[in-house]
Amino acid sequence: MHKQIVQAPVTINSREVAVMTDVRHSDLLRSISGYIQVLENAEFRSQDFFIPSIYKVEGNNKNYDCFELTRKGCDMVANKMTGEKGILFTAAYVTKFEAMEEKNKNLFAGASKELQAILMLDIRTKEMEDRVEHLENRTTIDYGQQRILKKAGNKRVLEIVGGKKSAAYKDSSLRTQVYSALWNEFTEFFGINSYNNTFIKDYDRALQYVPLWNPPNNLMRQIEQENGQMLF
């Protein structure tokens, strides 16, 4: 069995491009998102230009969005720039791509055509696996799954406040606090900004999390006090 050799994708990360072009990374991401929308509306394959990716910051377990830019992607960014900045960026990324491509060529130096074909198959398979893994990690739940998750949340809140006949349930302000606490803690736990954006990979865990969730102690005491008053 041959030893698998994996070729590094010939791309430049958007964070590096931001430094090279002297712009804020968030501004560059916003521009790239606009380019992608135009490309896809015109039925171009946007991943030939910009490949979605993620990165982490040391000391922080959250995922942050970024892109891997192909040569075509860098061309598009450069075409939007004028003057000296555009010239210098073009020179920098062209030089970098040439160096990476030369490095990749060295992987095949002296190899037979058969071995080259095997190595290329390994490379393309790995690239496809990486793209599938990325989609699995970044794809969010669909509308039907959102509704199921919301129903699970409604059921859990109803259990916590003591049912629809309870004083805590009839206190709309208190009931809203419980809902907010549930989804605030949920989004923080899963590192997202809304339960609607739960990642598919986390969906099963999310369905286990919600029925077991309990409100903070101070909120639980408010519920108990509200329902206790109804007894007198």
Question: 149 and 192 in contact (C-beta within 8 Å)?
Answer: no
Confidence of residue 200 (pLDDT cuts 50, 70, 90): confident
Confidence of residue 63 (pLDDT cuts 50, 70, 90): confident
Write out the DSSP string of 134-172.
Answer: HHHHHPBP-HHHHHHHHHHHHHHHHHHHT-TTSHHHH-H
> 84 is written with which tokens?
């000296």
CA–CA separation, 138 and 10 (whole Å):
22
Q: What is the mean pLDDT of the chain?
A: 82
Confidence of residue 166 (pLDDT cuts 50, 70, 90): very high
128 in the Ramachandran plot: left (φ > 0), alpha (ψ -120 to 50) or beta?
A: alpha
CA–CA separation, 83 and 117 (whole Å):
43
Q: What is the pLDDT of residues 8-37, one digit of tens each?
A: 457 889 999 999 888 999 999 999 999 998
Question: 50 and 67 in contact (C-beta within 8 Å)?
Answer: yes
pLDDT for residue 58 = 74
CA–CA separation, 150 and 210 (whole Å):
9
Longest dimension (CA), the chain: 90
Q: What is the pLDDT of residues 69-96, one digit of tens each?
A: 988 899 899 888 878 888 888 888 888 8
Continuous segment of H or E residues that includes residue 72: helix 71-79
Share of the chain above pLDDT 90, in %: 42
* Cβ count within 10 A of residue 182: 22
Indicate the range of 114-118, 153-157, 203-207 predicted with least confidence: 114-118
Total-model pTM: 0.46
Inform me whether the pLDDT recorded for 210 exceeds 90.
Answer: yes
- What ranges do the domains of the chain cover? 12-138, 143-229
Residues 6+ apart with CB under 8 A from 149: 141, 195, 198, 203, 206, 207, 210
Inform me whether the pLDDT recorded for 99 exceeds 90.
Answer: no
Confidence of residue 1 (pLDDT cuts 50, 70, 90): very low
Q: Most confidently modeled of 5-14, 61-70, 160-169?
A: 160-169
CA–CA separation, 141 and 108 (whole Å):
42
Inform me whether the pLDDT recorded for 39 exceeds 50.
Answer: yes
Average pLDDT estimate for 211-229: 91
